[in-house]
């Protein structure tokens, strides 16, 4: 004889599904910062015209009390303009820096949203399968008849 599910059991199932959805959302929306990204203020010393195919501004920046000159992956800045840049891990020799505004800080919003919706649809599918199997089970009142 099958025992009917009580409201407490349904509340526990819904609580688990809800907590799993919240955990997936928190895991995806939590800000991710990379420890490898090092931002520094750099001053443009030689601007480049954007008409050239290999147009790179030259910037001067200070890393660990040493002044370096590097190529900026960009063009069209003014001389003595201060630009915040992202410095690569290896600064020995000639290196190229990127403007900090052009580098992403984490997973793009579209990717986060896509993954979160995939997780929630999986949870909804699992709940639907659970409800479908629970619907097929006989209850105590059906067996008494």
Does residue 144 carry a pLDDT above 80?
no
Torsion-angle region of 80 (φ positive above 0: left; ψ -120 to 50: alpha; else: beta): left
Instruction: Identify whether residues 59 and 95 lie together within a single domain.
Output: yes
What is the spatial distance between Cα 96 and Cα 73, in angstroms, rounded to a whole number? 6
Single pTM value for the model: 0.48
What's the domain range around 124? 107-135
pLDDT given for residue 44 in this prediction: 92
Tokens in use for 120?
């929630």
| 80 vs 1, more confident | 80
> Which of 131, 121, 133 lies closest to 21 in space, CA to CA?
121
Chain segment 36-54, per-residue pLDDT in tens: 567 889 999 988 888 877 8
Instruction: Identify whether residues 122 and 93 lie together within a single domain.
Output: no
The total number of structural domains in the chain stands at 2
pLDDT given for residue 1 in this prediction: 45
Is 63 a member of any domain?
A: yes
Is 5 a member of any domain?
A: no
pLDDT given for residue 22 in this prediction: 77
């Amino acid at each position: 004889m099958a025992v009917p599910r009580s409201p407490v059991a349904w509340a526990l199932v819904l609580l688990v599904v809800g907590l799993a959805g919240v955990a997936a959302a928190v895991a995806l929306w939590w800000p991710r910062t990379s420890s490898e990204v090092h931002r520094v203020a750099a001053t443009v010393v030689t601007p480049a015209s954007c008409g050239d195919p290999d147009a790179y501004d030259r910037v001067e920046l200070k890393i660990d009390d040493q002044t370096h000159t590097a190529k900026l992956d960009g063009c069209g800045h003014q001389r003595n303009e201060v630009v915040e840049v992202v410095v690569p891990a290896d600064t020995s020799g000639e290196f190229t820096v990127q403007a900090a505004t052009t580098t992403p800080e984490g997973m793009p919003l579209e990717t986060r949203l896509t993954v979160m919706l995939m997780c929630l649809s999986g949870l909804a599918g699992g709940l639907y399968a659970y409800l479908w199997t629970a619907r097929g089970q006989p209850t105590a009142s059906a067996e008494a008849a």
